[in-house]
Amino acid sequence: MIRRAALGVLVVLATRGAAAQALPELRFDAGYASVRQPGFLASDTVRAVDAALLALFWRRPADRWTLYSSANVTYARDSLAAAQGVMALVLPWMDREHLRTDVGAAGATFSLRSAGRGGNGNLFARQHYVDDAWGGWGGAAWGLTARDGRKSASIAADVGAWARWRFLFGSASYARLSSEDLPLLYASGGTSSPYATSYEFEDVQLVLTARRGPHELAASYTARRAVAGTDDGAVALSVNGQLQLSDRLAFLASAGRQLSDPMRGLPEADIVTAALRVSLGPKPLPVMERASLAEARVIARAGGGGELVVRVAAHDTLAVEVAGDFSAWRPLPLAREGDWWVVRVVLPPGKYRIGVRANLGPWRAPRNVARVRDDFGGESGLIVVP
């Protein structure tokens, strides 16, 4: 979903495991949004505001880190304006391949007809556990907002879990937030208890995503329960999708409700968006089937380098080959481990290409790594060993 904020900037510095490194990427989105938000008029009448959407995303990977940068602009005359920025550091645990820690900071300025003018900033941290088909996280954030000269603090904590099965991806999370930003509560149509100086609520969110190649459809449901300072709860449902039209062009659409977010200073709103996305970076490969039964990962070693582990789910009678430039493209011997054919190779730091093929068919990239063209019109996967 393209967010409603009028101007947003996102910069993420990420140090990641090597298996999922990607090629440089540049994307540009342009589209339309319709925003319905309480309190646009003095009579509290709710009306829709039309807005133009522009967004830019850039990613540059390196051996040990990846730099993300994005900006988005929404023009809605004098009804809303905002600027946001985020910086985060994603740290893998060298001796624990499944653990990853995110830490970062965010800031924003806004001028909202329904919720005043001001800005906010917050600090956040989150611990992840990531396995092949499931994972979980826990995190916390602290923020400070200045709205029309009034300062207020917000604190949030959340836990969640996710799982992947075939083409489906699902997640469930629980969050609890305490905020002193009462003007935001009023702007979202809520009320506070007499003499309250803060309010607390709990959110439970369920998300289900279906992916088929480059196409994606997702739905999310959020239930909010008031805990203290207010009796107002809320429910939000939203859907969004991406349809890949060609190698470089995609259509994006979303519709649903956005609940108030004290950490970003944004009030509740009903939003509908539609946009076109153009990929402007290096020419992408044509949409084609990957080696969907193969996956590759790199287990980093404390002294440098790492162990490449390639797993292939295949029947005993299927002829499977794994090769790469590190083996001069000579097939490597595979060993049976449970339901998988597995090959393990210790590699020094560097960038490598890898391919998997079955029954002497075309070489394909493992499903979880970036794809690059080879010298024969086919494809191979790209891995980076830190």
Top pLDDT among 259 and 333 is at 259
For 80-114, b/e burial (b = at least 16 CB within 10 A) is: bbbbbbbbbebebeeeebeebebebebbbbbbbbb
Q: Kindly report, residue by residue over 296-308, the tens digit of the pLDDT.
A: 888 777 666 788 8
Would you list the DSSP string of 163-191? EEETTEEEEEEEEEEEE--HHHHHHTT--
Given a cut of 50, whether residue 21 has pLDDT beyond it is no
Phi, psi at residue 265, to the nearest 5°? 75, 20
Looking at the structure, do residues 73 and 143 belong to the same domain, yes or no? yes
For 325-341, b/e burial (b = at least 16 CB within 10 A) is: ebeeeeebebeeeeebb
Looking at the structure, do residues 190 and 124 belong to the same domain, yes or no? yes
- pLDDT for the residue numbered 110: 79
Given a cut of 60, whether residue 247 has pLDDT beyond it is yes
Residue 268: Cβ within 10 Å count? 24
Take residue 334 and report the two structure tokens written for it. Answer: 């595979």
Looking at the structure, do residues 268 and 308 belong to the same domain, yes or no? no
Asked if residue 126 belongs to a domain, the reply is yes
Looking at the structure, do residues 250 and 319 belong to the same domain, yes or no? no
Asked if residue 289 belongs to a domain, the reply is no
Looking at the structure, do residues 253 and 301 belong to the same domain, yes or no? no
Looking at the structure, do residues 237 and 323 belong to the same domain, yes or no? no
Asked if residue 255 belongs to a domain, the reply is yes
One-letter amino acid at 231 equals D
Q: pLDDT confidence of 70, banded at 50, 70, 90?
A: low
* Last residue within a domain, chosen from 225, 251, 279: 279
Asked if residue 67 belongs to a domain, the reply is yes
Q: Kindly report the CATH number assigned to the domain that includes residue 234.
A: 2.40.160.40
Among 46-55, 171-180, 199-208, whose mean pLDDT is lowest?
46-55
Question: pTM of the prediction?
Answer: 0.69
- pLDDT for the residue numbered 205: 97
Q: pLDDT confidence of 286, banded at 50, 70, 90?
A: very low
Assess contact for 32 and 48: CB atoms under 8 A: no
Q: Kindly report, residue by residue over 114-140, the tens digit of the pLDDT.
A: 777 888 888 999 999 988 788 999 999
Residue 65: partners with Cβ closer than 8 Å, 6 or more residues away = 13, 14, 15, 16
Assess contact for 291 and 322: CB atoms under 8 A: no
Tokens 């990977």 correspond to 61
The radius of gyration computed from the CA coordinates of the chain, to the nearest angstrom, equals: 23
Domain holding 337, by residue range, is 294-385
Number of domains in the chain: 2
Q: Kindly report, residue by residue over 261-271, the tens digit of the pLDDT.
A: 888 888 888 99
What is the 8-class DSSP label of residue 327?
G
* Last residue within a domain, chosen from 226, 255, 279: 279
The mean predicted confidence, pLDDT, of the chain is 78
Looking at the structure, do residues 248 and 306 belong to the same domain, yes or no? no
Asked if residue 43 belongs to a domain, the reply is yes
252 to 99, 161, 206, 220, 244: CA distances (angstroms): 32, 26, 21, 16, 9
Within 13 Å and on the Cβ side, how many CA atoms surround 45? Answer: 6
Q: Kindly report the CATH number assigned to the domain that includes residue 301.
A: 2.60.40.10
- pLDDT for the residue numbered 236: 95
Residue 34: partners with Cβ closer than 8 Å, 6 or more residues away = 48, 49, 50, 51, 271, 272, 273
Q: pLDDT confidence of 16, banded at 50, 70, 90?
A: very low
Looking at the structure, do residues 258 and 303 belong to the same domain, yes or no? no
* Last residue within a domain, chosen from 250, 279, 308: 279
Looking at the structure, do residues 304 and 242 belong to the same domain, yes or no? no
Asked if residue 285 belongs to a domain, the reply is no
- Strand 7-14 versus strand 80-93 pairing type: parallel
